[in-house]
Structure 1
Amino acid sequence: MIEKLPELVNNNEALIRRGRWLNDVFLVEVGEIQYLVHVAAGRIECVETGPFVMPSWTFAIRGSEAMWRRFWKSVPAPGDNDL
């Protein structure tokens, strides 16, 4: 799912407009798999898959693989709709 972020975000003009001032690199962990997400002017430039040696990022979002699967459901169960 993380690999699909550039397509999902960059094709959503409203989301890009909201994030137009965001220029950042952040870490997403799905279980033990790490991803660095590079954002420029609200658009996702690239998603790198780890492992990484001494990565530089501003903030991290981490969760177990099971938690992410629950969160990514088209209709999450009550309590699973927010991180």
Structure 2
Amino acid sequence: MDLEKELNLHPKGVCHYKSDIPYLLYTKDNWREIKEFCAPFPVEKTEKGATDGRAIIDLPSGNESFEFGMILIKLGPKRILLFNQTDFDDLFEIS
């Protein structure tokens, strides 16, 4: 069945992601990994970045800031979500 018909039959419900979801914890030692993970979106440290790790990523939905200890989640090629550890723990489990 095609997606449009499926959505018309079930306009409300629960869906599941089709594959594993990659994530990366931002630490003081993994800036290169952060840049690779965020590609092709530009990411740079702010002026405060030297002390608290604050950085900004330019996403299609707008700029988002993050700092050490936050978790980045990549949902396909066009979405990166940012979570603190508490929110990550509430929504996801590591497999």
> Structure 2-normalised TM-score?
0.24
**Higher share of residues assigned strand:** 1
Greater CA radius of gyration, 1 or 2? 2
With a CA cutoff of 8 Å and minimum separation of 6, indicate the structure with the bigger relative contact order.
1
> Structure 1-normalised TM-score?
0.26
